[in-house]
Amino acid sequence: MDAKRREVLKTGGGVLALAAVAGIIKPGEALAQEWNKAAFETKSVAETVKALGGSGSTLSDAIEITAPDIAENGAVVPIAVESKLPKTQAIAILIEKNPNTLSADFDIPSGTDPFVSTRVKMGETSNVYALVIADGRYFHAVKEIKVTIGGCGG
């Protein structure tokens, strides 16, 4: 997740979107997008940070995780992350005890608020990390969410 890759991703996406709008290529063909397989296969927070291009991250109180303390249904756990760090470039949601740690990774272009809200599955009670890349540096916040009924397995 270095700056260069992000630039390529941004530019590529824009060009492809334009081409799709212009009818030059069909939507399906325009969508050969990058997906960081290695990062989504990581099994720990440290591994995920590394797979996303960092060497470590600093705990920051400028990142706020909004999520329930107790999730009755692990299949649908609402999580919102807001960063007050200047030049926030990316926000990732990591669930430490899920089979794969990384849940979602959002690129935040300039002009977009450093805020995302989504819903994730949690297999069991776990720490949830919000990893933020701001001005090329890595920061995180952490919150424990207790899960009554897990939402990952059968």
Residues forming the site for another protein (CB under 8 A): 9-10, 13-14, 17-18, 20-21, 27-28, 31, 33-36, 39-40, 75-78, 80, 95, 98-100, 102-109, 111-113, 115-122, 151-154
Residue at token pair 């990591």: 94
Nearer to another protein, 58 or 147 (CB): 147
Rounded least distance, CB 154 to another protein, Å: 4
Adjacent-strand bridge partners of 70: 146
The smaller minimum CB distance to another protein, of residues 4 and 58, is found at 4
- The CB-of-115 to another protein minimum distance in angstroms stands at 6
Minimum distance between the CB of residue 94 and another protein, rounded to whole angstroms?
10
Q: How far apart are CA 81 and CA 88, in angstroms?
A: 12
Q: Which is nearer to another protein, 34 or 144 (CB)?
A: 34
Q: C-beta of 148: minimal distance to another protein in Å?
A: 16
Angle ∠(25,38,28) on CA atoms, nearest 5? 15
Dihedrals φ, ψ of 78, to 5°? -70, 130
Residue 63's SS3 state is strand
Between 116 and 133, name the residue whose CB sits nearer to another protein: 116
Strands 70-73, 137-149: pairing is parallel
Q: Which two tokens stand for residue 34?
A: 């990058």
Of the candidates 55, 9, 10, the residue with the CA atom closest to the CA atom of residue 34? 9
Query: Cβ closer to another protein: 3 or 17?
Result: 17
> Nearest approach, Cβ of 69 to another protein (angstroms)?
18
